[in-house]
Amino acid sequence: MSSRAERGISWMTVNYNKINLRSKLRDSSSSRSVRTPRNDIRLNMPLIQTKNLNKEYCTDEVKTPVLFDIDLEINSGEFVSIMGPSGSGKSTLMHILGFLDRLTSGQYLFESADVTGFDDKKLARIRNEKIGFVFQSFNLLPRTTVLENVKLPLQYRPGLKEKEKNEMAESALKAVGLEHRMNFFSNQLSGGEKQRVAIARALVTDPTLIFADEPTGNLDSKSGLQIMEILDKLNKAGKTIILVTHETNTASFAHRIIALKDGRIVSDRKVDNRNQFNGTLK
Amino acid sequence: MTYKLLLHSSIRALRANRNRTFLTILGIVIGISSVIVIMSVGAGAQSLIFNQMASVGTNMIGILPGYSDEEGPPASVMGVVITTLKAKDAEELKKIKEVTAVAAYVRGVDTAQAQGQKMDITFLGVSADYPRVENAELELGSFFDQAQDKEMARVAVLGYEVWQQLFNGDNPIGAHVKIKNESFDVIGVFEKRGTESFENKDNMILVPLTTAQKLLLGIDHISMIHLLVKSDNDVPAALEQIKSILREEHDIEPGMSDDFTARSAAQGLEALKQVTNALKFFLAGMAAISLIVGGVGIMNIMLVAVNERTREIGLRKAIGATARNVQEQFLIEAVTVTILGGIVGIIFGILTSAMVAGVAKYLGYDWDLVVTMPSILMGVGVSGAVGILFGWYPAKKAAGLEPVEALRHE
């Protein structure tokens, strides 16, 4: 029996197969309606699809529209940056795509399922199982060890033994190179380390999709670069990454940049000159 | 999240704010400890009273004027004067064959004088059977007899303290004592009897019933009859006969209620227990109000905690916590605080009760330290309930936070 720990350690290499398997399963289950050839589905099935997605905030009978008719498709395995100045609606879009907020009208399909009508409990479960979040301000629990912080998402997953949780958290910490900080308290870490712990926490449930909301915003450039390198690695290992940023330089680590302005998509392009890591940071 | 984990995270959160936690539990500690102390001291006082009453003997029956139901004492206990009971009733009751002794009582207070000394005393007018009924022994001299009672003899038997104070311990037999300006010959002194049922038996002067009625009080009713039956087993039969005799004496029609209350000592004890229990629970209830105050404090602090940790709540929701998970977390935190306060309160309450019992014992009272398991369990239960009750709203508020709003919270 292969332990979860082994599985975790080998994320970087194994997960392609896993995604492959998932695609095949989906393929067979929906074979009636499938018209695309099989090999197209591999790595390219739309993980996220929105149609006419609108969002407005209502406060005291004043309606503030934030997003207008967003049509978007993001496939499994993509590394996408959502860019835009503040107030462009990029964070709101991320929150809706990450099930932290609800859309006002339109449609949102996640793994081809319409999630618009899902109740809070179902959404919580999707967040726990499919999504990992990395925030600008880390959001680690204070006075709590690194290991406990990383284990936190697993605490909301019933049926796991403590030993399994520890193994999963340890391998997630190894993936961000912080296994030696395991028993440190979160406030004893540097900013870069804190963000790596936050990434480990996002990774520990082995999610399909990782949202990073200005992950380098509170970091010096060297630590920021480290974080981007980790995200790049995770993407190479098969994770879909959606990065929200207003920095062009940071956004250029992605394959694709979606630019928002005033709540509308103003451009959606492939990145030709991707920022590459030359190994100096290792 | 498992309860173990929830408990663990609650303790961590509470330790993070030690001072605040301490102040928060203080209200609960005070509330629970006062309830425990009142229950325990109340039970101790009850045991003291009952120990004394039990020494009177269980084959005694008391009759008071005025009707009362099983639940409580008749109005005459509260000081209402009811004149339906007469000395003749006591005489009639002697005819019951199970009855071995009958004593009728009247009472008054005055300042007694003898040999230039004064003393505030209680005087009792009683029948000649009094020493047998009350199981009282004489230190000096003798008690008056039935003939002396009939002929309104001006004789008096002193309590131990009265003797000590008025006669300075000298032989008082043959000396005079003045009550209400009437002079009495001292014919006897009781041995030291102590306090029984809130009554100091040693500062009394006893005179014949008729003398007290006619000479000192100017009344023809009596305030109480005590009688002894042969054995405990005769009590129910005697009570039946007492009732029928007195009803006949008082011309009470069938269907009308009695104008007297006859109870055995055991029944009296039971009635007293109910009265003292009611008092005890009333006081404990008053103390429990401080628990409500403590609970409001808990609610206040929990609301502050929810506000402070809004981002944490947002994060927990973002990584998969359901509203229920969050609610459980804060509820368990509140319950942890209150149960912690409850346990400290129980320990504190027991220590205080033990101190009270120690002091009472030192002062020579027959006082038991009574801390019952139910009162401890009740303390824990009530403090837990306070936690649930007052933690509910803050926990609900935490659970209802939108993840996005919570994450944006500064």
Structure tokens that stand for A24 in this block: 């095949």
Q: Using the beta-carbon criterion (under 8 Å), do A127 and B318 form an inter-chain contact?
A: yes
Residue B173 in contact with partner chain A when CB distance is under 8 A = no
Task: Tell whether B322 lies on the interface with A, counting CB pairs under 8 A.
Answer: yes
pLDDT at residue B11, rounded to an integer: 87
pLDDT value at position A127? Answer: 94
Residue A237: φ, ψ to 5°: -85, 0
Of the partner residues A100, A156, A201, the one whose CB lies closest to the CB of residue B1: A156
Q: What does the domain layout of chain B look like in residue ranges?
A: 3-52+271-408, 83-258
Q: What's the mean pLDDT in A187-205?
A: 94
**pLDDT at position B265, please?**
79
Res A34 pLDDT > 80: no
Q: Check residue A69 and give its pLDDT.
A: 93
**Is it the case that residue A44 has pLDDT exceeding 60?**
no
Cβ proximity of B158 and B177 under 8 Å:
yes
Q: How far is A33 from chain B (nearest CA, A)?
A: 32
Q: How far is CA B196 from CA B264, B382, B399, in A?
A: 17, 36, 61
Rounded to a whole number, what is the distance in Å from the CA of B383 to chain A's nearest CA?
28
DSSP output for chain A: ---HHHHHHTHHHHHHHHHHHHHHHHHHHTTTT--S-HHHHTTTSEEEEEEEEEEEEEETTEEEEEEEEEEEEEETT-EEEEE--TTSSHHHHHHHHTTSS--SEEEEEETTEE-TT--HHHHHHHHHHHEEEE-TT--PPTTSBHHHHHHHHHHTSTT--HHHHHHHHHHHHHHTT-GGGTTSBGGGS-HHHHHHHHHHHHHTT--SEEEEESTTTTS-HHHHHHHHHHHHHHHHTT-EEEEEES-HHHHTTSSEEEEEETTEEEEEEE-SS-----STT-
CB proximity under 8 Å: B 91-110 to A: none
Inspect the interface and report whether the beta carbons of B320 and A157 lie closer than 8 Å.
yes
The answer to whether residue A10 scores a pLDDT higher than 60 is: no
CA torsion, ordered B321, B327, B331, B333, to nearest 10 deg: 30
Chain B residues within an 8 Å CB radius of A127? 317-320
Check residue A4 and give its pLDDT: 45
B56 Cβ contact partners less than 8 Å away, ≥ 6 residues apart: B134, B135, B196, B197, B265
Q: Which two tokens stand for residue B134?
A: 């009350």
Mutate to test the interface with B, among A101, A155, A187, A204 (most CBs of B within 10 A): A155
Is the pLDDT reported for residue A40 higher than 60? no
Give A101's contacts in chain B (Cβ within 8 Å): 402-404
Taking the whole predicted model, whether its pTM rises above 0.90 is answered as no
Nearest CB partner across the interface for A100, out of B318, B323, B324 = B318
Q: Do A101 and B316 touch (CB under 8 A)?
A: no
- Domains identified in chain A and CATH numbers: 4-270 (3.40.50.300)
Paired tokens of A255: 């394959």
Interface test with B, best of A66, A96, A128 (most B CBs within 10 A): A128
* Residue A98 with chain B: CB contacts under 8 Å: 318
What is the distance in angstroms between the Cα of B307 and the nearest Cα belonging to chain A? 15
List per-residue pLDDT tens for chain B, 410 residues long: 678 888 888 888 888 888 888 988 898 999 999 988 988 888 888 888 777 766 666 788 888 888 877 666 677 667 778 888 888 898 889 888 889 999 999 999 999 999 888 999 999 999 999 998 888 889 999 999 999 989 999 999 999 999 999 998 889 999 999 999 999 999 999 998 887 766 788 999 999 999 999 999 999 999 999 999 988 888 888 989 999 999 988 988 888 888 888 888 777 777 778 888 888 888 888 887 888 888 999 999 999 999 999 999 999 999 999 999 999 999 999 999 999 999 999 999 999 999 999 998 888 787 888 888 888 888 889 899 999 999 999 999 999 999 988 988 87
- CB-closest option in A95, A133, A143 to B16: A143
CA angle B335, B339, B343 (to 5 degrees): 175
pLDDT at residue number A159: 87
A12 pLDDT exceeds 70? no
pLDDT the model gives residue A5: 43
Hey, which residues does A238 pair with through a beta bridge?
none
Among all residues of chain B, which has the CA nearest to that of A91? B404
Of the candidates A98, A129, A144, which has its C-beta nearest B12's C-beta? A144
**Which residues touch B248 (CB under 8 Å, ≥6 apart)?**
none
Contact A251, A231 (CB under 8 A): no
**Model confidence at A136: pLDDT above 60:** yes
Q: What is the pLDDT of residue B76?
A: 67
pLDDT exceeds cutoff 70 at A259: yes
Give the integer Cα–Cα distance in Å for B318 and B378. 40
Contact (CB, 8 A) for B154 and B185 = yes
Cα separation, B137 vs B147, in Å, equals 20
Distance in Å, alpha carbon of A157 to nearest chain B alpha carbon = 7
Q: How far is B381 from chain A (nearest CA, A)?
A: 28
φ/ψ of residue B73, rounded to 5: -80, 160
The CA distance from A32 to the nearest CA of chain B, in Å, is 33
Q: Report how many Cβ contacts below 8 Å link chain A to chain B.
A: 63
How far is the C-alpha of B201 from the C-alpha of B192, rounded, in Å? 8
pLDDT above 90 coverage of chain A, percent: 68
Nearest to B203 by CA among B62, B107, B103: B107
The neighbouring-strand residues paired with B74 are none
- Residue B179 confidence (pLDDT): 93
- A120 interaction partners in chain B (CB closer than 8 Å): 322-323
What does the pLDDT read at residue A54?
94
